[in-house]
Amino acid sequence: MARRAKGSDEDKPKKKGKKKARKRASRKAEDTSGIEVDVRKPVVAVVMGSDSDYPVVASCIETLEEFDIPYEARVVSAHRTPEKAHKFASTARLKGLRVIIAAAGGAAHLAGVMASLTTLPVIGIPIQTPTLGGADSLYSTVQMPGGVPVATVAIGESGAMNAALLAAEILALNDETLHDRLQAFRATMRRKVAEKNARLRERIANPS
Ligand code: C2R
């Protein structure tokens, strides 16, 4: 389950990589249904209003895995399962969670309700909707009343990825290893932009 940040492999010596792979393997176990799970205590919770949100939320989860951040993911709805949502948010801090990421579409009150019940940082992912394109989700996630912040990311997959990166940045305030991974991720991004630039110049210089 746990993988390293994209592109960071070449920044690490081979020996260390093997050691880390062994360490990561020891963090996995099979649960009663035979599904491989991370045995570490989750520090990030990814909650979503419905499993129909998962195709977008997947890029958040993939990014958490790339950064080797222990997380838990579940469906909770402030509208459909208010008691569960209440219990989850109000006990999250005591359970050792450090950041909550909440994804929802339409009348997306999930992130706001989470934020109203905990002082943990809450990041909201507005899910695109077929009727209003996600503007409904965006407004209902971002327009929080003063006093109850929700750090709202963009609609869709980039937003979902950024939610995980923002969570990583919050956790990296007290975690140098994670900070190193974020630096490596940025370095990879810079290299990719340089490659794009070189390709563009080549196309302009040699139009077909
Ligand atoms: P279904 O596909 O289950 O009908 O859900 C979900 O996040 C999803 O995008 C449709 C949409 O309803 C959203 N939903 C919320 C909340 N609970 C579910 N916005 C909530 O509590 O905010």
Please state, in angstroms and rounded to a whole number, the distance separating the CA atoms of residues 91 and 97: 9
Q: Give the Å distances, CA to CA, from 135 to 114, 132, 148.
A: 20, 6, 21
Looking at residue 38, its pLDDT comes to 82
Average pLDDT score over residue span 183-188: 98
Cα of 180 vs centre of ligand 1, distance in Å, is 36
Average pLDDT score over residue span 189-196: 98
- In 10 A of CB 77, how many CB atoms? 17
Nearest-atom number in ligand 1 for the CA of 85 is 21
In the chain, % of residues over pLDDT 70: 88
- Sequence ranges of the domains in the chain: 27-174, 176-208
Band of the pLDDT at 22, cuts 50, 70, 90? low
Kindly report the average pLDDT of the chain as a whole number.
90
Q: Quick check: CB of 108 below 6 Å from ligand 1?
A: yes
Instruction: Give me the architecture of the 27-174 domain, per CATH.
Output: 3-Layer(aba) Sandwich (3.40)
Residue 105 above 60 pLDDT? yes
Looking at residue 5, its pLDDT comes to 46
Cα of 76 vs centre of ligand 1, distance in Å, is 9
Q: Who has greater pLDDT, 36 or 121?
A: 121
Q: Who has greater pLDDT, 64 or 40?
A: 64
Average pLDDT score over residue span 155-178: 98
Q: Could you report the per-residue pLDDT of 110-144, keeping only the tens digit for each?
A: 999 999 999 999 999 999 999 999 999 999 999 99
Lowest-confidence pick of 29-43, 44-58, 102-116: 29-43
Q: Quick check: CB of 114 below 6 Å from ligand 1?
A: no
Q: Quick check: CB of 136 below 6 Å from ligand 1?
A: no
Q: Who has greater pLDDT, 150 or 26?
A: 150
Per the CB < 8 A criterion, the answer to whether 135 and 106 are in contact is no
DSSP code at position 92? T
Residue 28 above 80 pLDDT? no
Q: Quick check: CB of 76 below 6 Å from ligand 1?
A: no
Q: Quick check: CB of 49 below 6 Å from ligand 1?
A: yes
Q: What is the dihedral of CA 47, 48, 54, 60, to 10 degrees?
A: -40
Please state, in angstroms and rounded to a whole number, the distance separating the CA atoms of residues 27 and 59: 22
